[in-house]
Amino acid sequence: MLSWKENLTPISEQFGDIYFSPENGMEETKHVFIEGNNLTQRWEDPNLQKSFAILELGFGTGLNFLTTWKEYSKHRDLFRLHYISIEKFPLNKEEIAKALSVFPELLEYKEEFLNSYQDLIPGMNYFRFQNGRIHLTLFLGDVKDALVEISGKVDAIFLDGFAPSKNPDMWEESILIHLRRVCKMGTTFSTFTVARMVRDSLTACGFHLEKRPGFGRKREMLVGTYSPTEEKSDESTPKEKPWRQRLFSNPETKTAAIIGAGIAGSALAYSLSKRGIRVTVIDPSGIANEASGIPGAISHPHITKLPTPTSLFTLRAFRYALHFLSSFADKKEFKTSGLFHGVTEEMSSERLKKGLENHQLSEGIVVWKETSNDSQNKNDLEKEMGNGVFFQKGFWTQPNSLAKRLIDQPSIEFIPKTASAVQSNASGWKIKFSDSEEDLHSDSVIFCNSHGIGELLDPILGEKFLPIKKVRGQLLVLKETEPSSRLPSILCAEHYLTPSIEGEHILGSTFDEFDLDPKTRTKDTKELLQYIQKKYPSLNWNEESVLTERVGFRAQTPDRFPILGPVLSPQEFTNAYKGIELPRNRTKNFPILKPIPGLFVFGALGSRGILSSFLGAEILASLILDEPAPVESSLLEALHPSRFLYRKIRSLD
């Protein structure tokens, strides 16, 4: 709850403290955080790297972020800004707008920010602004949870929680000690407080401290630089698997070759191009003409009964896809029509309700909908839908058109050829083509070619690496009828049905892991029609309603989770980590393996290719370029290609 001073300075009633100085909050930010971290001077350094990362403890009204954005705008052609902020008690859009209304110089930044400040979820929420020059990762939750989940190193830290006397928990040594995970030698910090407990906590963390004149009525403030005399292990931090730890030692990447021009490869090409990388995309079938070439795709989060990597990743991917597509796609390529997911044998009412409760999602994201006993007020279709969950912004897309738009960038070249071999060389990687004697050279190679990843990757590694299965699916395109034209949203249960898209509906899809016939099958068409006739008889569809049939092939892993990340040598992995879980290995100390330089995988997206592609592309771009990742460290571990090697050697122990 907030209260307000006469000059619209917000006050937290919970902590009894102000959010910023009533004298001039913006000038306070400049003095304490911009100047306290010497940002202007550092940003003018010609040796500055291509990106600069800031961590903030206490997002509050967003004043520090927007002021930093304004100052950064003077330098934005030189580097990308990554801003990571943690907030346990987020303000709503109206409260932020009111608090910042006294700073008219922030108006244009505030409007762009508030247009995207929605659909927030617990944990990490990722935003891009100014055409990808500014990246904001807003972690909603406890600071201790956030600090052990951030994957990346930062250059500066803003410590701006409520005063230690009002909110001592945030400033304790047991909390701030986790800053070591995100610091590198020379990382700076600044804060408005010089309280003894804060000085002690930061000294224990490894910072060299200095007092400076404070702002306004505050006599002093505190700044410092991370320069530990020795690296200490943090026993209170959950241990990452040793093969998952990021080493932040990749050589500078200027060029990238992407094998596969589906929606995943296209999205990755776009993300890399926006970071100044020259990208070549290779696919003999053209852009998004395989699984991504379906006439339309639907997207919604997958809510499990309890939070799992699957549900947490799809929630983050869904929120970011909405943020990205709302400004990138046109109305023929993307629409938030809403999506109703009805109760099924697999997804019971209890499971769906528990999922909503355990994920703490707002009604702006999903609500429970139930057909009331007073059904005379319901139309036939509403009765047929029954009970279920409604995703307010569930959406459909045209993947083929989106992929072409993503690749249509000045720094992206598309080559419609077949890559016959990929080989390492002294300068990076060489791609050979089956129909050309001219090779392509690149700093990095990313395999995004779905179920074909192993054909080129396995020869590099000397053994089969990834357990990717090919799954057949068939869908139907149905002509619009008078009843179906009134269908307002996507309907999901055992299959899915889109509302009318330019006079046509898409009914999908079958799922077959065994019969991989590329031709359409009459029995599949009958199966889908029988489903729609039984489930929604009021829509009046029959065999004559079918306009076209289409077959596509998904790529899927045994755990039905994407594969995303760097590639490690299977032989080195097995030698280093065999026996990792044996009881006699009490310390669990193993060497840290370096990934194969410049070799990455992004694939096996299964039935959630559209949903996974946009956030997945941003994640992989951050890994390739040593930037902070836009999702939790635990999710990176769940996505990592080496998880299958890990499971394999555990089964041998």
Enumerate residues 6+ apart whose C-beta is below 8 A from 135. Answer: 80, 81, 82, 83, 126, 127, 128, 129, 627, 628, 630
* Contacts of 138-145 spanning 24+ positions with Cβ under 8 A: 138/59, 138/85, 138/87, 138/90, 139/84, 139/85, 139/86, 139/87, 140/87, 140/88, 140/90, 141/86, 141/88, 142/88, 143/57, 143/86, 143/88, 143/170, 143/175, 144/174, 144/175, 144/178
CATH of the domain at 129: 3.40.50.150
Distance CA 28, CA 426 (A): 51
Answer yes or no: do 130 and 262 share one domain: no
What confidence tier does 590 reach under pLDDT thresholds 50, 70, 90?
A: low
Q: Torsion over CA of 110, 112, 113 and 119, rounded to 10 degrees?
A: 140
Judge whether 449 lies within some domain.
Answer: yes
Which of 27-41, 496-510, 514-528, 572-586 has the least mean pLDDT?
572-586
pLDDT at 381: 86
Which of the residue ranges 10-19, 48-57, 589-598 has the most confident prediction, judged by mean pLDDT? 48-57
Answer yes or no: do 29 and 112 share one domain: yes
pLDDT at 652: 60
Average pLDDT over residues 600-624: 95
pLDDT at 236: 41
pLDDT at 39: 96
Task: Copy the structure tokens of residue 163.
Answer: 């005063």
What confidence tier does 237 reach under pLDDT thresholds 50, 70, 90?
A: very low
pLDDT at 613: 97
What confidence tier does 247 reach under pLDDT thresholds 50, 70, 90?
A: confident
Q: Which of 421, 456, 425 lies closest to 436 in space, CA to CA? A: 421
pLDDT at 309: 94
Q: Give yes or no for a contact between 259 and 455, defined as CB atoms under 8 angstroms apart.
A: no
pLDDT at 588: 60
Is the whole-model pTM more than 0.85? yes
Last residue of some domain: 555, 589, 615? 555
Average pLDDT over residues 423-433: 93
Answer yes or no: do 645 and 579 share one domain: yes
Answer yes or no: do 515 and 625 share one domain: no
- Whole-number percent of the chain with pLDDT over 70: 94
Answer yes or no: do 112 and 208 share one domain: yes
pLDDT tens for residues 137-153?
A: 999 999 999 999 999 99
The answer to whether the bond into 401 is cis (omega within 30° of 0) is no
Judge whether 442 lies within some domain.
Answer: yes
Average pLDDT over residues 587-604: 85
Judge whether 320 lies within some domain.
Answer: no
What confidence tier does 589 reach under pLDDT thresholds 50, 70, 90?
A: low
If you ran DSSP here, which 8-state letter would residue 512 be given? B
Last residue of some domain: 509, 533, 555? 555
Judge whether 182 lies within some domain.
Answer: yes
H/E stretch holding 460 reads: helix 453-461
Task: Reduce the secondary structure of 6-32 to three states and give it as a string.
Answer: CCCCEEECCCCEECCCCCCHHHHHHHH
**Given the structure tokens 């990382």, which residue do they identify?**
187
pLDDT at 377 > cutoff 60: no
Answer yes or no: do 129 and 158 share one domain: yes
Last residue of some domain: 505, 528, 555? 555
pLDDT at 376: 54
Q: Torsion over CA of 160, 165, 167 and 171, rounded to 10 degrees?
A: 60
Q: Give yes or no for a contact between 630 and 558, defined as CB atoms under 8 angstroms apart.
A: no
Total number of residues shown for the chain? 653
Judge whether 84 lies within some domain.
Answer: yes
Q: What's the CA angle centered on 50, arms 49 and 54, to 5 degrees? A: 80
pLDDT tens for residues 89-98?
A: 999 999 999 9
What confidence tier does 527 reach under pLDDT thresholds 50, 70, 90?
A: very high
pLDDT at 86: 98
Answer yes or no: do 415 and 516 share one domain: no
pLDDT at 584: 59
pLDDT at 650: 74
Average pLDDT over residues 614-623: 97
The total of structural domains in the chain comes to: 3
Answer yes or no: do 53 and 25 share one domain: yes
Answer yes or no: do 249 and 142 share one domain: no
Average pLDDT over residues 20-29: 89
Strand 428-433 with 419-425, pairing: antiparallel
pLDDT at 379 > cutoff 80: no
Answer yes or no: do 563 and 550 share one domain: no
pLDDT tens for residues 115-131?
A: 999 999 999 999 999 98
Answer yes or no: do 432 and 540 share one domain: no
Full residue range of the structural domain in which residue 641 is found: 243-290+401-459+559-652
pLDDT at 234 > cutoff 60: no
CATH of the domain at 531: 3.30.9.10
Enumerate residues 6+ apart whose C-beta is below 8 A from 652. Answer: 578
Answer yes or no: do 224 and 352 share one domain: no
- Whole-number percent of the chain with pLDDT over 90: 74
Cβ neighbours of 484 (radius 10 Å): 22
What confidence tier does 279 reach under pLDDT thresholds 50, 70, 90?
A: very high
pLDDT at 481 > cutoff 70: yes
pLDDT at 653: 54
CATH of the domain at 604: 3.50.50.60
Judge whether 505 lies within some domain.
Answer: yes
pLDDT tens for residues 168-206?
A: 999 999 999 999 999 999 999 999 999 999 999 999 999
| Residue-averaged pLDDT of the chain | 91
Return the SS3 of 508.
strand
Judge whether 140 lies within some domain.
Answer: yes
Judge whether 193 lies within some domain.
Answer: yes
Between these two residues, 35 and 594, which has the higher pLDDT value?
A: 35
Strand ranges inside 567-652, DSSP E: 599-603
